[in-house]
């Protein structure tokens, strides 16, 4: 009987660890280059179920853990970036901005982090700041695909169709195999046909 209870506890603990790992991995997959217009919301994969009677996994606990770890080690650039990513994924763009800015103080000129920072500015309605940040990225990393993609999104949002088209055409010329090529071509064609 005691061995059966130990096995059940071991299986339960394994399931909890697996779900925690899935939650953490899903938060950070593709974080280096998130598209502005297509923010993914992390979720538990279909078919994954918690054991009966288990309370729901609370993503805010993970965020609280990252916050505490970051307070304990404020000079850890990777941890600060992870915190920014967690805030970003949670839609807390002001807090993400603060974490990304701190990360960039620790390690300047990180194109992925600065592009995410620009995306936060965009979502906060600070389009000029978003464009300035993206232009800064493109000065030290010309042709950085995600910065060009996001610049087109921000320019489109500010009704600068020609600027958006130019950014996206530059992206397609510098990275012909960009994964969202079909989407970009469609956006360009829509802007051209609308005469904006």
Other C-beta atoms lying within 10 Å of the C-beta of residue 109? 12
Please give the mean pLDDT across all residues of the chain.
78
68: left (phi over 0), alpha (psi -120 to 50) or beta: alpha
* CA Rg value for the chain: 20
In a domain, 71, yes or no: yes
pLDDT band, very low/low/confident/very high, at 33 (cuts 50, 70, 90) = very low
What pLDDT score was predicted for residue 194? Answer: 87
Asked whether the predicted pLDDT for residue 21 surpasses 60, the reply is no
Distances (CA, A) of 92 to 117, 154, 168, 179: 12, 19, 28, 27
Tell me the torsion sign for CA atoms 47, 48, 52, 56: negative
In a domain, 124, yes or no: yes
Q: What is the extent of the structural domain holding 93? A: 2-45+57-194
What pLDDT score was predicted for residue 188? Answer: 95
Q: What is the pTM for the complete model shown?
A: 0.68
Asked whether the predicted pLDDT for residue 159 surpasses 90, the reply is yes
Contact 147, 117 (CB under 8 A): no
Name which of 31-35, 84-88, 120-124 the model is least confident about.
31-35
In a domain, 52, yes or no: no
- CATH at residue 107: 1.25.40.10
In a domain, 156, yes or no: yes
How many structural domains compose the chain? 1
In a domain, 111, yes or no: yes
Q: How far apart are alpha carbons 30 and 42 in whole angstroms?
A: 11
What is the end-to-end Cα distance of the chain in Å, rounded? 74
In a domain, 50, yes or no: no
Asked whether the predicted pLDDT for residue 136 surpasses 80, the reply is yes
Per residue in 77-114, pLDDT tens?
999 999 999 999 989 999 999 999 999 999 999 999 99
pLDDT band, very low/low/confident/very high, at 196 (cuts 50, 70, 90) = low
What pLDDT score was predicted for residue 144? Answer: 96
């Amino acid at each position: 009987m005691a061995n059966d209870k130990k096995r059940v506890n071991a299986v339960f603990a394994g399931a909890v660890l697996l779900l925690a790992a899935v939650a953490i991995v899903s938060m950070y997959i593709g974080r280096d280059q998130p598209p502005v217009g297509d923010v993914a919301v992390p979720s538990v994969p279909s078919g994954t179920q918690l054991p009966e009677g288990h309370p729901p996994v609370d993503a805010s606990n993970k965020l609280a853990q990252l916050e505490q770890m970051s307070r304990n080690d404020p000079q850890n650039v990777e941890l600060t970036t992870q915190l920014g990513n967690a805030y970003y994924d949670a839609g807390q763009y002001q807090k993400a901005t603060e974490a990304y800015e701190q990360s960039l103080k620790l390690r300047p000129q990180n194109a992925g982090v600065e592009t995410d920072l620009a995306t936060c500015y965009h979502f906060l309605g600070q389009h000029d700041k978003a464009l300035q940040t993206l232009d800064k990225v493109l000065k030290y990393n010309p042709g950085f695909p995600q910065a060009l993609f996001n610049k087109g999104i921000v320019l489109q949002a500010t009704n600068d169709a020609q600027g958006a088209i130019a950014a996206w055409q530059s992206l397609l010329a510098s990275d012909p195999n960009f994964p969202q090529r079909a989407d970009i071509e469609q956006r360009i064609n829509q802007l051209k046909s609308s005469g904006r």
